[in-house]
Amino acid sequence: MNQIADHMIATPVPLWTQRRRLVLAVGLFALSCKPAVSVVPLPPPEPKFPELGCTPDGREQGEKPPNGTKIWCEHMLPSGDWSLHGTLIEWHTTGQRGLETTYAWGVLHGHAQYWYPVGTLREAGHYEQGIQTGVWDSFHPNGLPLSSGTYIAGRQEGVWTYWDANGHREEGAFVRDQRNGPWLSFTADDIPTKERIYRNGRLVSQRGL
């Protein structure tokens, strides 16, 4: 056994084997020193409907006129279903914009605007989790004001003002969605003409001024 071991230790390595090992070692070293390839991410695609302002994790849906009447943003729920989330824009059959609203996971939330088919603004205000809140203004088709007042938790509260198509004004207070106290009527020249008294939404008296 010792003779065999001595023979193995003393056996010289052939020159061609040494060269082969050297070439392999140099090659492995070169591979280990090769710089990593830098992968540049592709830019996100241009939005089809930039007016929606959809976020990158959402998607655009619908078609604008003349191919459709509505466009909107939607995002995926944890369940895997898609929900309206972001801006929704609709058009009348006349081609005029009909509404622009904002949603949060399928519920109206944020600023909202509505237009008549002729293109003039009909109503504007704000939703909070599907409920009207804050100041809301509405207009006649000719653009003149129709009403202005405040919603609290979906109910008319405080002073509200109404105008007819000729500019005659009526003004008074709401309490929990009901007229209460004095309501005054005015001419287009802002001259008071009538006073009405309400209690819990019911007219209890009136008189000319």
Mean pLDDT taken over the chain = 88
Domain region containing 104: 53-208
Q: What is the pLDDT of residue 35?
A: 57
pLDDT at 11 over 70: no
Question: Is 164 part of any domain?
Answer: yes
Q: What is the pLDDT of residue 17?
A: 63
Question: Is 61 part of any domain?
Answer: yes
Average of per-residue pLDDT across 74-93: 96
Which residues make Cβ contacts (< 8 Å) with residue 125, sequence separation at least 6?
A: 111, 112, 132, 133, 134, 135, 136, 137, 151
Measuring CA to CA, which residue among 99, 156, 149, 104 is closest to residue 129? Answer: 104
Question: Is 27 part of any domain?
Answer: no
Question: Is 93 part of any domain?
Answer: yes
Question: Is 11 part of any domain?
Answer: no
pLDDT at 30 over 80: no
Q: What is the pLDDT of residue 60?
A: 96
Question: Is 117 part of any domain?
Answer: yes
- Global pTM reads 0.76
Sign of CA dihedral 139, 145, 151, 156: negative
Question: Is 5 part of any domain?
Answer: no
Task: State the total domains in the chain.
Answer: 1
CB 147 within 8 A of CB 129: no
Here the tokens at position 12 are: 């010289």
* Tens digits of residue pLDDT in 33-48: 555 566 777 666 788 9
Tell me the CATH number at 62: 2.20.110.10
